[in-house]
Amino acid sequence: MMKTQREEADRDSSCVGGQNWEPAVKLVLFDLGNTLESNGVLLPGAMEALEAVASLRAGGRPAALLGLVSDFEMPRQPSDVPIIQQRYYELLDDLGIRPFFEPLAERVTLSTEVGVFKPDEAIFRAATSKVDPTLEFDDVLFVTENPSHVLAARSLGLSAVHLRGPGQPLGEVETLPDLVPLMQAFVQGEELVQTVVLDAPDANSTAMITNRSAAMDATWTRLGDVLVVRATATLAGQILAHREMADSARRLFIPKQRLHVVTQIARLFQEDHPDVRVVVDKGRYLVVDLDPGMPSLVDGPHASCYAVRPLPPDTVVFDHRAARPRHTTAPVEEVGLLAGELSRMAFEEDLGTLARLPTRHSTSAQFLGALDWASDRLTDLGYATHIQTVAVHGGTTRNLIADRPGEGTDRNVVLVSAHLDSVNTRGAAAAAPGADDNASGSAGVLAIGQALADRTRRHDLRLILFGGEEQGLFGSRHYVSGLDAAERARISAVVNMDMIACRNTGNSTVLLEGASVSQAVIEKLVGIAQAHTSLAVQTSLEPFNSDHVPFIDLGIPAVLTIEGTDSANDRVHTERDTLDTLDIDLALEILRMNLLFVAQALDSDIHSPTDQLKENLR
């Protein structure tokens, strides 16, 4: 918490009589060995860090004084002290850092003169009062590579930070220049905001932090079982005082704007940017420490394969919910009936029809043939179909739209979509069976269309097969850009299927990906998956690169349903994405979830995202 202005004013007037305002004297005490130097050589970034701190200004004056506190040779007799001190001063000369600590008699404190080693209170007391007798321990920031000295200093009431020393795997601060923003906050009287990374905290700890964060002036971000908390030293200390949490916790000092989340194929981000420090590694997702001005945010050979965003506060970036045994109570009649409408044989036949074409490249004759075939299928089922022509890179592709109006008054639209096109990254002429990406989702749209064909519902059902997805979401962007405000507002949910048939994980797993606007839809899908399927569910609020994104960009609640750990499937966009690699059981479980959701949504009102958020917070 920030010191109040009154507190500052009281203290200032007590130590500088007569003047109205004087910056608070703050002191930064450095350890020398392995903190600023090692084996007589200055550590990288030391000069830069000292210069930056020395140049901090408050009210036109230096905002912080620099000091050194070191364990050094103990004298055999008091008269040896000056000689030993002289040797230390010569070391500072050799390192070229002596000017930062002048006058040395006030700013340098050695065990030699105090008679005890760190972290004895007496040596910190001496170092502080030599600079200014009015200074308190809470005016002092102590920087060292020694973690036990950090703890000891904190228990005495100093601020302290563990700098990663030579050979140490971890530190609260990684490099000396990283100290600068921290010291800036310190001399401005701000309580140091810290990042605490908790690995798999228990449910109570998670609830304690997420429920009370607002009141404690903290923010949190959860990635699966890792909780990243940004908090003041006080709260960070409270968290770390919990035994259950302390064991799995890491404390880091990283300025807020440097924390970013990398999504999708995070491994390729690491290949492009090996020097970027990874704070949390969850496979498909990383939290990294990145200069927000770094132009390399958007470049690198694989830049289209990942997205980098500032770490969102108070958000579950992704979650994993274990599969639950299906409910033992008899499911409502409709569930059984509906699920029975999903025909494995028809689904497999449709998959085969699509994936045996040599390609469904967006601008190919085969794509048009596949679209006509699908159009005939849906027309036969009673849907009113129409086709949109979409420009893509000098050619054209198409979207197929199939409608079945509801009977209610005040009708919404529930939309089910997939992209029909396929691609091979080696070029338009190369074989592109696209069995998983995305004959699986396209055949899925037909299966849902078939299951819901016979009964008219309250709301409108719309099925869409998009073209141009692989070239950059051309079909879905074209579609949403043609919607007027009233039509957009009528869409209560979009369920997009893209790659639903490859099993990349031990258990059958689905990933539900959306944004905060899709939270209500995600929650309902999760509930259905847990009640009526054997799927484990991953959820993510970082939407990426499929046809749900243009909807989300317009504030429409859209969710991508995709096989779990999709980035592990390295056959997509090659000639190896073939029927024999598919897991039909996984696809049917995902279809079952989607079908039950759509059937419910067609007959009911979907909560607004805000209602659902409130429910979640309960």
Contact set with Zn ion (CB under 5 A): 437-438, 498
Nearer to Zn ion, 432 or 599 (CB): 432
Q: Say whether the peptide bond before residue 103 is cis (omega within 30 degrees of 0).
A: yes
Half-sphere exposure of 502 (CA within 13 A, CB side): 23
Could you tell me the smallest distance in angstroms from the CB atom of residue 563 to Zn ion? 11
Shorter beta-carbon distance to Zn ion: residue 205 or 471 = 471
Nearest distance in Å: CB 169, Zn ion: 40
Q: How far is the CB of 518 from Zn ion (least distance, A)?
A: 18
Measured from the CB atom, is 31 or 437 closer to Zn ion? 437
Residue with smaller CB distance to Zn ion, 477 or 532: 477
- The Cα 219–Cα 567 span in angstroms is 29
- The count of residues in the chain is 618
Residue with tokens 């392995």: 34
CB of 345 to Zn ion, least distance (A): 25
Question: Do strands 395-404 and 384-392 pair parallel, antiparallel, or not at all (unpaired)?
Answer: antiparallel
Q: How far is the CB of 472 from Zn ion (least distance, A)?
A: 12
We find the least distance from the C-beta atom of residue 578 to Zn ion, in angstroms, to be 15
Question: Least distance from C-beta 450 to Zn ion, angstroms?
Answer: 22
d(CA 129, CA 408): 80
Closest to Zn ion by CB, 438 vs 519, is 438
Structure tokens at 481: 């850009």
Asked if 219 and 313 count as a contact pair (C-beta separation under 8 A), the reply is yes
Element holding 451 (H helix, E strand): helix 441-451
| Stretch (H or E) spanning 210 | helix 203-212
Secondary element (H or E) of residue 86: helix 81-95
Provide the token pair at 131.
């600079």
Q: Which is nearer to Zn ion, 380 or 570 (CB)?
A: 570
Query: What's the min distance (Å) between Cβ of 470 and Zn ion?
Result: 7
Per DSSP bridges, beta strands 285-289 and 249-252 are unpaired
Residue 107 or 573: the one with the smaller Cβ distance to Zn ion is 573
Residue nearer to Zn ion on the CB measure, 437 or 513? 437
Of the two residues 178 and 566, which places its CB atom closer to Zn ion in the complex?
566
Residues 6 or more apart whose CB falls under 8 angstroms from that of 68 comprise 29, 30, 31, 32, 92, 101, 107, 108, 109
CB of 468 to Zn ion, least distance (A): 11
- For residue 261 the two structure tokens come to 């989340």
CB of 546 to Zn ion, least distance (A): 6
What's 331-381 look like in SS3?
Answer: CCHHHHHHHHHCCHHHHHHHHHHHHCCCCCCCCCHHHHHHHHHHHHHHHHC
Nearer to Zn ion, 209 or 420 (CB): 420
Paired strand residues for 142: 29, 160
Question: Could you report how far apart the first and last alpha carbons of the chain are, in Å?
Answer: 28
The secondary structure element, H or E, covering residue 480 is: helix 474-481
Contact 479, 464 (CB under 8 A): yes
Give DSSP secondary structure letters for 561-573. Answer: EEETTGGG-TTTT
Residue 32 CA to residue 107 CA, distance in Å, equals 13
DSSP 105-123: HHHEEEHHHHSS-TT-HHH
For Zn ion, the closer of residues 258 and 477 by Cβ is 477
Which CB, 31 or 498, lies closer to Zn ion?
Answer: 498
| 226 CB-near residues (< 8 Å, 6+ apart) | 197, 198, 199, 200, 280, 282
Nearest to Zn ion of 438, 538 (CB atom)? 438
Cα–Cα dist 464/445, whole Å: 8
CA distance 606 to 493: 8
Task: Look up residue 479 and give its two tokens.
Answer: 């579609």
Please identify, using beta-carbon distances, which residue of 226 and 562 lies nearer to Zn ion. 562
Environment class of 237 (CB within 10 Å of its CB; exposed 0-12, middle 13-18, buried 19+): middle
In whole angstroms, the minimum distance from the beta carbon of 367 to Zn ion comes to 14
Q: For the CB of residue 357, give the shortest distance to Zn ion in the complex, in Å.
A: 16
530 HSE (CA, 13 A, CB side) = 12
- When the beta carbons of 119 and 444 are compared against Zn ion, the nearer one is 444
Minimum distance, C-beta of residue 262 to Zn ion, in the bound complex (Å) = 21
**Rg of the Cα atoms in the chain:** 31
The minimum distance between CB 360 and Zn ion, in angstroms, equals 11
Least distance in angstroms from the C-beta of 567 to Zn ion: 12
Nearest to 370 by CA among 384, 383, 346, 387: 387
